[in-house]
Structure 1
Amino acid sequence: MASPKEIRIAQLIDSLEAGGAERMAVNYANALQASTGFSALVTTRAEGNLKAELSPDVAYAYLHRQRVLDVKAYRLLCNFIKKHRITHVHAHSSSVFFAILLRLRFPTLTIVWHDHYGWSEQLDRRPKFALQVASQFVKGIITVNHALQSWSQTHLFCKQVLYLPNFVGIPSATSLPAISLHGEEGKRIVCLANLRPQKNHSMLLEVAQRMKAVHPDWTFHLVGKDFQDAYSDQLKATLSQTKLESHVFIYGTQQEVSGILKQCSIGVLTSDSEGLPVSILEYGLAGLAVVATQVGEVGQVLTEQNGILVPKGDSVSFFHHLSQLINNVSLRQEYGEALQKHIKQTYSTAAVIPEYLKWMYED
């Protein structure tokens, strides 16, 4: 095994489909490879588009896990831990339950849990029994917002709870070209959000319908996983009923997000609930002006100086402020530059990883 002062960290995640927790697992893996010289990532149930963003120097494994107690997947994980002399497993979201089984084979292995729970506005309804059991087997808990930190300190048995903001790294060069977006250059509005109810795309369509009457040359571009479920069906039905097909475009999951953002002028998020959405950070890193609902930790990122916050569910106010940005190019530029500076200073690899490593090295 590694020397007492050496730590070798493996990220553990259920899949590499595009999503906030999944993107952060990749971000941590890449950042740790660059800063410590070793990093690993294991995905248990599925791969996905984010695999293409993983540094080739990161040790990687896919377990093909099929069920809750999958002996074959467990053996593969144990072999990976032994082969790469892993000392710390950083388990994201529900992968923590699989991670704690490793303590049966490796009693000295350190496990930390990264809580990415997205319904931070409804924590009073969150089931906690299974998490209370799991919390007894982890060294510490990382939360993506202060509400989750407080909830963990109150309800769970692990008392080492650290708030660390999500972060973004500088996009690496890629041979994968971004798709060409529909619409007119300089008049595109992007929404990076998987098609889930908490993202409230219905409100976005309400805004788009109002915008069509006032600024018909501006278009909306929805990028995120389409689960092909009832929510998706209803969204597409509304799109057809309101005759917005030439103003709102759905692209599904895309790999080259930074290239997509370069084609846009404004970033939006209409969520009813969030933790700390990576999409806001990506908008900022790309220098976009942003309008978003004030949920979760969004208000910690956007201020009066670098963006616009709107009460959740208020489509009229959202439309008003979005129109303000459309009509004022200099204001868009001012907000975009200010947010980009803020992201680099507070929500970047350089800002987060040193604090993370300091915490991981603590006994």
Structure 2
Amino acid sequence: MKVIQIIDSLNAGGAERVAVNIANELADNDIESFICTTRKEGILKDNIRSNVKYLFLSKKGRFDIMAIKTLRLYIKTHKIDIIHAHSSSFFIAILVKLFQPKLKVIWHDHYGNSEFLNERPIKILKLVSKKFNHILAVNTILKSWAELNLNVKNVSYIPNFVDINLNEEGDTKLSGNNSKRIVCLANLRPQKDHITLLNAIKKVFDQFSDWSLHLIGKDFSDEYSKELKTIMKKLNLDENVYIYGSRKDIYKILLQCDIGVLSSKSEGLPLSLLEYGLAKLPVIVTDVGQCKEVISSNKLGRIVEANNEDVLSEAIIKLIKDRELMRTLGNNLYSHISKQFGKDSIVKSIIKIYKEVLC
């Protein structure tokens, strides 16, 4: 069995990290594993293990003939059986399949705005979905949506998984006081709703001015980024809120923090939440996507209403006031994630689907 993961970039996003994680784990399970990034390389390239073969296409547009030919020849030369296409990379996968009909295509749906699926463009996706052999969805909402809207019989819910990388590069030193750091691991995108988080954190800092907030994730330097920085200045948060951009040493960063927060308007099953758990952080997350599947009780963390700065600030303040609760929640979540979202069982499920597709 030979499998290639295809992803548009290697920026530090959720879909990108899943693609790299799967490629690495397949190689460690004696499957010849490949990964192709179509448009951009990025910070996650260094996370690809040496036993995974790598291809970069530098694709310039949807119908980049040279990129399509390069991928087609690469797949033919290496006798690859399965294309595992992540997010929007399904399009080039289907174009290659048109020339090599025996290829199996599995599409992995990571759509982050699963709370707003009525706004999702569907025309092209529905048309090409006839060529998919299987769909993997990162949450049950997306699974149900695919079953209702796309032309595929086989759809499976496969939760995301994370793994601690003790050999990750980088040595980021966080600012602020030790034992008084809140972290939000999320690219600076509107769906992550850092605006509500900043308004909530202002209320927290009015009571606990020695605490700090650390935003880890790609800064696209766009209008949303500018708006966040304007709000920071308006709320006088410049000395307590720090923006770091993308970082390679996520686990090392999380070990320097005390509370993990996600304030998203929409999610799938966020890798950040799983990573918080593996770092034994107590977490506060909004009730979107599959977050409640992970934080299934108050013994594991706190679920709050999205887009509500008051309930978010109250939840953070309650944790700050109770160190023992913070430790208990962090330890409980670590145990839960290790058992329910461990890589071994999830990778076995993916490999089983590969085998079924090839039958």
Tell me by how many angstroms 1:105 deviates.
2.5
TM-score, normalisation: structure 2: 0.97
Q: Where does residue 160 of structure 1 map in the other structure?
A: 154
Q: Where does residue 96 of structure 1 map in the other structure?
A: 90
Task: Please state if 1:333 is matched with 2:327.
Answer: yes
Q: Residues 1-363 of structure 1: matches in 2 within 5 Å?
A: 7-174=1-168, 176-303=169-296, 304-362=298-356, 363=359
Tell me by how many angstroms 1:30 deviates.
0.7
> Distance in 2 between the 1:116 and 1:196 partners?
15
Query: 1:147-200, CA deviations, whole angstroms, 9 ceiling, x for partnerless residues?
Result: 1000000010011000000110231413x2321010011110000011111111
Partner AA of 2:74 in structure 1: F
> Distance in 2 between the 1:344 and 1:101 partners?
39
Q: Secondary structure at the match of 2:125?
A: helix
TM-score, normalisation: structure 1: 0.96
Query: 1:95-132, CA deviations, whole angstroms, 9 ceiling, x for partnerless residues?
Result: 00010011132210100000000111111222211111
> Distance in 2 between the 1:280 and 1:263 partners?
16
Q: Secondary structure at the match of 1:36?
A: coil
Tell me by how many angstroms 1:209 deviates.
0.7
> Distance in 1 between the 2:305 and 2:231 partners?
23
> Distance in 2 between the 1:40 and 1:95 partners?
15
Query: 1:290-340, CA deviations, whole angstroms, 9 ceiling, x for partnerless residues?
Result: 001000000000122111000111211111111111111111111111111
Q: Which runs of 5+ in 1 are unaligned?
A: 1-6
> Distance in 1 between the 2:9 and 2:22 partners?
15
Tell me by how many angstroms 1:40 deviates.
0.7
> Distance in 2 between the 1:93 and 1:113 partners?
7
Percent identity over the alignment?
42
Q: Check conservation: 2:115, 2:266, Cα contact below 8 A.
A: yes
Q: Any runs of at least 4 consecutive aligned residues in structure 1 with deviations exceeding 3 A, and if so which?
A: none
Q: Where does residue 4 of structure 1 map in the other structure?
A: none
> Distance in 1 between the 2:233 and 2:132 partners?
49
> Distance in 2 between the 1:170 and 1:227 partners?
26
Partner AA of 1:298 in structure 2: C
Q: Which runs of 5+ in 2 are unaligned?
A: none
Q: Check conservation: 2:3, 2:31, Cα contact below 8 A.
A: no
Tell me by how many angstroms 1:83 deviates.
2.7
Q: Cα RMSD (Å) of the superposition?
A: 1.0
Q: Secondary structure at the match of 1:14?
A: strand
> Distance in 2 between the 1:321 and 1:180 partners?
27
How many residue pairs end up in the alignment? 356
Tell me by how many angstroms 1:351 deviates.
2.3
Partner AA of 2:142 in structure 1: L
Partner AA of 2:100 in structure 1: F
Tell me by how many angstroms 1:37 deviates.
3.9
Tell me by how many angstroms 1:8 deviates.
0.9
Partner AA of 2:60 in structure 1: Q
Tell me by how many angstroms 1:358 deviates.
1.0
Partner AA of 2:188 in structure 1: L
Partner AA of 1:359 in structure 2: I
